[in-house]
Chains A and B, each alone.
Chain A
Amino acid sequence: MRLEKRQQTSPLAWVLAPLGAVGFTLLVSALLVLWAGAPVGRTYLLLLQGGFGSVFALSETLTRAIPLILTGLAATVAFRARLFNIGAEGQLYAGALAAVAVGGAHGGTGWDLPPALLFGLMLAASALAGALLLLGPALMKARLGVDEVVTTLLLNFIVLLLVSMMLDGPMKDPTAMGWPQSVALLPELELSKLIAQTRVHSGLLAGMGLALGLWVLMRYTVLGFDIRALGANAGAAAFVGVPVTRTLVWVAVLSGGLAGLAGAIEVAGRTSYLTLDMSPGYGYSGIVIAMLAGLQPLGVLFAGVFVAGMLVGADSMSRAVGVPTYIADVIVAASLISVLVAGALAQYRVRWK
């Protein structure tokens, strides 16, 4: 078996590729559902209903989608420039930690600043914390050729241990009965709810706005050109005068900043304090979402909602028919693989000897 590049990709292939990807994903997941001894049709129906079937389901899905969209955007901008940021998880926690430090760890005084200013400071601090965390690996890559996959990945564990230390030490909430949990934000700093009696908060609007902003940046600005050119062909980019190191620094600031904001928005919108289990791997899921979206900022919105819907839907489906919630992870993983393979098959032809 071998792959040969097609001279042209037919329009039909572009239509069939995503349909084939969906079909393959449903098939693989159906086999596992059968294995678990549940009816396939009912399981899928419950999954969809649990994720999107009611106002409550949809609100839970959108709530879960907010951090996923932000980390998805963080991965998108970094991967576009071929800066493989695997550290969004750590950057998210660093951002959350910075948010709590500015928004809560002052004995509830707020340093006597107006809430609006304090809110701005809180977001800025979280973005800065995430950005700084990625800046080191980015500069080490640009200057010394150090592999950023390794450095960003390892930083995740360092940050998690730092958070653990802070939650058991200086930032521990004294009223939490010994739980390792941070002090809470000032109530004025919490994000407003979009729909009454649900958990969807205005962070969703922030995510949509940032996706739109990133799309504009990538498409209409010189920096966007620099990022796309650097990622597509670094040699040619340097030849035409793209400032390689400066562009990488910008990418690190944007990507780390977005992941840091994800942490702050999660704290301000959902939990109001920081715990060590705040993120079930949002930083890593962001990579999956960015790839599912084809590294398109606006596509991240849809991919984020899709993944969130699967996760939320699987929770309620699991309670009804007893298929483990891990099926959501399987569906997301299978869809990513089949989308990537379908994209490749649209461009290459398989030949059997």
Chain B
Amino acid sequence: MTGPVLSLSGITKRFGALLANDAISLELQPGEILALLGENGAGKSTLVSILFGHYTADSGSITVFGQALPPGDPRAALAAGIGMVHQHFTLADNLRVLDNIMLGSEPLWQPFTRRAAARARLLAVSQRFGLEVDPDAVVGTLSVGERQRVEILKALYRGARILILDEPTAVLTPQESEALFHVLGQMVAQGLSIIFISHKLAEVLRVSDRVAVLRQGRLVAQARSADTSQAQLAQWMVGHAVGAPQRHPAQRTGEAVCVLRDVCTPAGRDRLDRVSLALHSGEIVAVAGISGNGQVALAEVLSGTRGIASGEVRLLGAPLPKSPAQLTALGVARIPEDRHAVGVVGDLPVWENAVSERLRSRLFSRFSWVRRRAALAYAQALIARFDVRGAGPLAPARSLSGGNMQKLILGRALMHPAGTGTPRLIVAHQPTWGLDIGAVAYVQAQLIAAREAGAAVLLLSGDLDEVLTLGDRVAVMHRGHLSEAVPAAQWTRESIGLAMAGARPHEDAHAA
């Protein structure tokens, strides 16, 4: 086949004042892996949503295999051979792999399902692309990597010849990512074309033939992967040169601020299994791991929103208090994983969100009456100090962008009213997730500053680079088990990857 399999021309999409896609023209060649690179908010998701028919473009057109694609129709996109693998899987956990793959692919008025034929076809597809999976396994029992394979198979089963992968490595260990890259290689060798969306420079260069960089809705650069470098890509992505992240020398650590001993949480989807950890003043302990391995449970236990089944948690020598308000009063600063669902109440104004943790203290209420003036003044000070832009104190918090919302949460946690001490313990769960590079640097700098001021910092992150850059000591979570926290220098990306998959390297060393 000659000519591009897919061509976008002049795609423009506007959301109110925001120009999400500005006249983007892009071509995908047969047998090519094209990486779509850009920061969060650069317009990658909007572009593929238009391609897949979830949005309609304001102007511009799409041609697939020489045919114009009708806008705004996911079924037409599917029929044209476009398959999409979302970052968040769309699988039914309680069904078998085969059922998940057949789901929605059979006409409703066909009286019997043709399982045997479907099974044969699934096995043929999986053999052809080297995607091995047991058709009879219940999806809920599969690992994340295996589920991703099912998602890809689902697209291939439906005859996809152009595959769009949205941040496919976000949930994988380095080793699983390698395996995925290998499969992708086999797929393009068979003539498929792939669009690979990511904001990770190294893996983009590793896997793609060509890179297209988006910034603020515009296509700013295209290059052959072989002809470019990480530094060049970063510059295109951000718009200016980016310094290498600074490695900070380990601090002298002080007393143990928080100690967990053999902590178990009640059985559930995300749990702790005999976790022991000591967090000292003046250090950052970073916890790596694939999400869903107990990080939520660990963060919630230390945030006062989940109880423990056995074991012991001590804060400053006393048992951990049960309520979030008491934790705040004792100097525990908490940054939750999900800004929108847990971090702020989007319908309420910025000022109420700014004081919400301390509303019950005498500073902001008396006899259960809110001291509005004091609270507003505090919110103003927070907005100024943490540079929260885009909305005043009276605007609803939902009108803030992700980065500014995170600054608000960071300010609420780290700023302390006169008369209260600096934070003693900071529990930060994915504090930089989804932020642009500038905001990431700001959040990381705040965590380092808090460490220097003597706080003990627990950083739970899915970003290995962040874990290795910020962590003085690093531990890895797997299935609720937390490895021993050892100095970051004793880890390599490979050993962390193995530990994320369940190996226990440092404990083996102890046993030997």
Contacts and interface: CB of A to CB of B under 8 A. Distances in A.
A222 B368 contact: yes
Interface stretch (A44-52, A194-202, A229-237, A320-328): A229-237
A302 interface: no
A229 B348 CA distance: 7
A243 B360 CA distance: 11
A2 B304 CA distance: 41
B372 A220 contact: yes
A204 B18 CA distance: 50
Contacts of A238: 305, 324
B305 A232 contact: no
A228 B356 CA distance: 12
Contacts of B346: 232-233
A153 B334 CA distance: 40
A236 B348 CA distance: 11
A240 B368 contact: no
Interface string A15-56: 000000000000000000000000000000000000000000
Interface string A90-117: 0000000000000000000000000000
Contacts of B72: 2, 351, 353
Interface in A302-353: 351, 353
Contact of A221 (B341, B348, B356, B370): B370
Nearest to B15: A7
Given A239-B342, A241-B324, A353-B72, A8 B16 contact: yes
Contacts of B16: 6-8
Contact of B325 (A4, A233, A241): A241
A215 interface: no
Nearest to A239: B342
Contact of A7 (B17, B304, B344, B369): B17
Given A229-B345, A232-B347, A239 B17 contact: no
Contacts of B356: 225, 229, 240-241
A13 interface: no
A6 B328 CA distance: 37
Contacts of B369: 220-222
A208 interface: no
Interface residues of A, number: 25
B136 to A, nearest CB: 33
Nearest to B303: A239
A350 to B, nearest CB: 12
Given A221-B369, A351-B56, A239 B336 contact: yes
Contact of A236 (B15, B343, B368): B343
A223 interface: yes
Interface string A240-277: 11010000000000000000000000000000000000
A232 B344 CA distance: 10
A241 B357 contact: yes
Contacts, number: 81
Contacts of A2: 72
Contacts of A240: 324, 356-357, 359
In this complex, the member of A2, A7, A223, A236 whose beta carbon has the largest number of chain B beta carbons within 10 angstroms is A236
A349 to B, nearest CB: 10
Contacts of A243: 323
Contact of A233 (B304, B341, B365, B370): B341
B61 to A, nearest CB: 15
A235 B346 CA distance: 12
A238 B342 CA distance: 8
Contacts of A232: 345-348
A7 B13 CA distance: 13
Given A7-B18, A222-B359, A223-B368, A241 B345 contact: no
Interface string B368-403: 111010000000000000000000000000000000
Interface string B407-434: 0000000000000000000000000000
Contacts of B345: 228-229, 232-233, 236-237
B373 to A, nearest CB: 12
B322 to A, nearest CB: 11
B209 interface: no
A6 B14 CA distance: 10
B17 A221 contact: no
Nearest to A228: B348
B348 A235 contact: no
Nearest to B364: A222
A353 B17 contact: no
Contacts of A221: 368-370
A45 B250 CA distance: 82
A233 B348 CA distance: 10
A15 to B, nearest CB: 19
B39 interface: no
A239 B334 contact: yes
B418 to A, nearest CB: 21
Contacts of A235: 341-342
Given A7-B16, A351-B56, A239 B324 contact: yes
B73 interface: yes
A221 B345 CA distance: 17
Nearest to B365: A222
Interface string A196-228: 000000000000000000000000111111001
B472 interface: no
B352 interface: yes
A7 B15 CA distance: 6
A222 to B, nearest CB: 5
A315 B493 CA distance: 79
Contacts of B73: 353
Contacts of A6: 16
A6 B18 CA distance: 11
Nearest to B396: A232
Nearest to B368: A222
A238 B348 CA distance: 15
Given A7-B16, A8-B16, A241 B341 contact: no
Interface string B69-86: 001110000000000000
Contacts of A8: 16-17
Nearest to B70: A353
Nearest to B73: A353
Given A222-B365, A236-B342, A241 B360 contact: yes
Nearest to B327: A241
Contacts of B370: 220-222, 224-225
Contacts of B368: 221-223
A18 to B, nearest CB: 20
A344 to B, nearest CB: 15
A241 B355 CA distance: 11
Contacts of B360: 222, 241
A137 B95 CA distance: 35
B305 A239 contact: yes
A147 B412 CA distance: 34
Interface of B: 15-18, 55-56, 71-73, 303-305, 323-325, 328, 334, 336, 341-348, 352, 356-357, 359-360, 365, 368-370, 372
5 contacts: A223-B368, A233-B344, A233-B346, A236-B344, A238-B324
In order of increasing CB-CB distance, the 9 nearest A-B pairs are A7-B16, A241-B325, A241-B324, A232-B347, A240-B356, A233-B345, A222-B368, A236-B345, A240-B357
Interface of A: 2, 4, 6-8, 220-225, 228-229, 232-233, 235-241, 243, 351, 353
Given A228-B348, A232-B345, A236-B343, 15 more contacts: A2-B72, A8-B16, A8-B17, A220-B370, A222-B359, A222-B368, A222-B369, A225-B348, A228-B347, A233-B341, A233-B344, A239-B305, A240-B356, A241-B323, A353-B56
